[in-house]
Amino acid sequence: MPPCWTLSCEIDLAYPVCEQNDMLRIRVLHGPNLNLLGTREQSIYGTMSLDAMDSAITKLAEELAVKVDLRQSNSESELVTWIQEARTECDGIIINPAAYTHTSVAIRDAIAAVGLPTVEVHLSNIHQREDFRHQSYVAGVPIGQISGFGLTGYLLALRGLQEHRTTSRSQKKTPASATSRRAARGTR
Ligand code: DQA
């Protein structure tokens, strides 16, 4: 396939190929029992279903021009596989590992292995709950953890990841930035 600048010179595309390819792709992973949201322990997790949460995340993603790929699994192995596959398919991960937060070295290692910017989300504030929920095996790897804001946590994570990726991309695209940093420090 020719480079996209060649295409856009020759064909009047409604959506430039470059722009489409440049869209951030974020994988959103929901761990075990989150498929039961809406009916599960409503006093802790509220009454919103997972489908309704996914629709709200998708709506914000559209506004931000981010492509989201939303998945839920009750299986640790499936979550690990999806994290691994994200390495070539996505630019970042938002994950609520649910109960695996407190047990899974495998999920932590998968996130570390792919090296993608990741945000850990919890609907409830895990630090206010039972002692066994205070420890997250995952927390040392992601760029941040959001806990206790319900659906809003996912939306904050999406905005945060988009800003993080946009900033790191624009830094990569500005070769002068290292030079100007050195100039500002007065070093060569
Ligand atoms: C959870 C918190 C976990 O402790 C629990 O096992 C979950 C959901 C949350 O979103 O608050 O299933 O990750």
* pLDDT tens per residue across all 188 residues of the chain: 333 333 333 333 333 333 446 799 999 999 999 999 999 999 999 999 999 999 999 999 999 999 999 999 999 999 999 999 999 999 999 999 999 999 999 999 999 999 999 999 999 999 999 999 999 999 999 999 999 999 999 999 999 999 998 888 777 655 554 444 445 445 44
Ligand 1 atom 8 nearest Cα: 98
Does the annotation mark 154 as catalytic? no
Does the annotation mark 122 as catalytic? yes
Q: Tell me, using a 6 A CB cutoff, whether residue 101 lines ligand 1.
A: yes
Q: Tell me, using a 6 A CB cutoff, whether residue 95 lines ligand 1.
A: no
pLDDT of res. 174? 55
Q: Residue 6: CB partners within 8 Å, gap ≥ 6? A: none
Best mutation site among 28, 37, 42, 123 for ligand 1 pocket (most ligand atoms within 8 Å of CB): 123
pLDDT of res. 166? 82
pLDDT of res. 167? 84
> CA 166 to CA 14: how far, in whole Å?
23
pLDDT of res. 171? 73
Task: Please say whether the beta carbons of 87 and 114 come within 8 A.
Answer: yes
**Token reading at 107:** 């999920």
pTM of the model: 0.82
Q: Determine which one of 45, 102, 137, 164 is catalytic.
A: 45
> How far, in Å, from the CA of 175 to the mean position of ligand 1?
42
Q: Residue 90: CB partners within 8 Å, gap ≥ 6? A: 25, 26, 27, 69, 116
